[in-house]
Amino acid sequence: MIDVVVGAQYGSEGKGVIVSEMARRNEYAAFVRVGGPNAGHSHRAFNRKWAQRMLPVGWAHSGPASLLILGRGAVVSPDILQKEITDAEGYTENLRNRVIVDEGATWLQPRHESIEGKIYGDLHRMIGSTGEGVGAARRDRMARNISQSTLMGQRREDSMFLVGDTVEMLDDIRRGNSGSDILVEGTQGSGLSLVHGPWPFVTTADVNAAGIMADVGIAPGADVRVVLVARTYPIRVAGNSGPMFRELTWDEISTRTGKVIQEHTTVTKLVRRVGEWDPGLFRRACILNNPAWIALTFMDYVDPDLEGETDFARVMRSHEAAKFIANVEEIAERPVLAVGTGGPEWSVAWSS
């Protein structure tokens, strides 16, 4: 099977936590990421927190033979990837021989970051972009200017990771015997899609399942299973980042939960915008992604007594949680199989 984890809203749905749990519960032959370092995936492993901007989260639960792949559609910052490999190396075996970057992946270079200027640049002011240079790197690729190196295969050899044809590798795994599962980790969320999102407040790729798979180079098929991750309260990055259904304040969330809550972005540390559950956005994400099942995170914002809960039956005993889940299942016409409850361990309750 090929599991594809996709965000249902504007990112920060907690895909990192769900991917990490899935990697713990199943043995995958390969973990794949596309997209760029403008997304940070938080997860917990080895008694600490991690915020992964390049390396697939699954590395932390990967066997010594499983591959960690940055696919052909990825936008790769070698510096950030090298730093993450160095950080992770003491915790897992044989890492340098298992990280494989596609030779055709886009090479993110310092000049791209300078063009966009991070959160001090025009793009941040105009559309709330994180300005990491991912869009500038993709534009370079589209310009097809042969005088500029653009692809990862055009770099000199690197001692920290391998560079190769990941489409062939993944195809070999896909055709292999049963048990050769692949986990594809999406970045950002359906509502940020270049094609399907509220332009111009969008990212520079289609971040829905079909777009992600096209970037990885895995064709559609009956063995592809989409997992849609949705938050009970969607967020957007800080600033002028686009339309939001029934926007709230963190004060309002704090009053509702009886706890002081304020979220900051993983990469830029700015205060996030937050809003009420948006049924229209979620329905559209279901149409675009045809999920097999839903992971619903931030249930601790709906019922604070559930914080850290891992027992699904107990989650369902909460009237508010059960009602919320029923509503989500009705829209999706698919089951909620995992519920995120936060707490110090970033807990998840699984229905089986």
Q: By the criterion CB under 6 A, which residues form the site for ligand GTP?
A: 7, 11-17, 39-42, 187-188, 266, 297-298, 300, 340-342, 346
- Choose from Mg ion, ligand GTP, none: what does 187 bind? Cβ within 5-8 Å by kind: ligand GTP
How far apart are CB 16 and Mg ion at their closest, in Å? Answer: 7
Interatomic CA distance for residues 119 and 122, integer angstroms: 8
Site string for Mg ion, 261-290 (x = CB under 5 A): -----x------------------------
Nearer to ligand GTP, 11 or 71 (CB): 11
Residue 40 binds Mg ion (CB under 5 A)? yes
Residue 130 binds Mg ion (CB under 5 A)? no
Closest CA to 352 of 312, 323, 324: 312
How far apart are CB 16 and ligand GTP at their closest, in Å? Answer: 3
How far apart are CB 210 and Mg ion at their closest, in Å? Answer: 22
Nearer to Mg ion, 9 or 266 (CB): 266
Answer whether 35's CB lies under 8 Å from 186's CB. yes
- Choose from Mg ion, ligand GTP, none: what does 16 bind? Cβ within 5-8 Å by kind: ligand GTP
Please count the other Cβ atoms lying within 10 Å of the Cβ belonging to residue 162. Answer: 17
Answer whether 340's CB lies under 8 Å from 296's CB. yes
Closest CA to 185 of 283, 59, 56, 28: 56
Amino acid (1-letter code) at residue 167 = V
Nearer to Mg ion, 12 or 232 (CB): 12
Q: How far is CA 159 from CA 78, 87, 288, 323, in A?
A: 11, 15, 39, 52
Residue found under tokens 């399907």: 196
Q: Segment 1-30, which members bind Mg ion (CB under 5 A)? A: 12
How far apart are CB 40 and ligand GTP at their closest, in Å? Answer: 5
- Choose from Mg ion, ligand GTP, none: what does 346 bind? Cβ within 5-8 Å by kind: ligand GTP
Nearer to ligand GTP, 188 or 208 (CB): 188
The span of 1-9, 37-45, 67-75, 204-212 binding Mg ion (CB under 5 A) equals 37-45
Nearer to Mg ion, 57 or 332 (CB): 57
Q: How far is CA 132 from CA 6, 13, 36, 135, 268, in A?
A: 21, 20, 9, 8, 10
Answer whether 143's CB lies under 8 Å from 46's CB. no
Phi, psi of 52 (to 5 degrees): -90, 120
Interatomic CA distance for residues 119 and 270, integer angstroms: 10
Residue 131 binds Mg ion (CB under 5 A)? no
How far apart are CB 111 and ligand GTP at their closest, in Å? Answer: 24
Q: Which positions touch Mg ion (CB under 5 A)?
A: 12, 40, 266
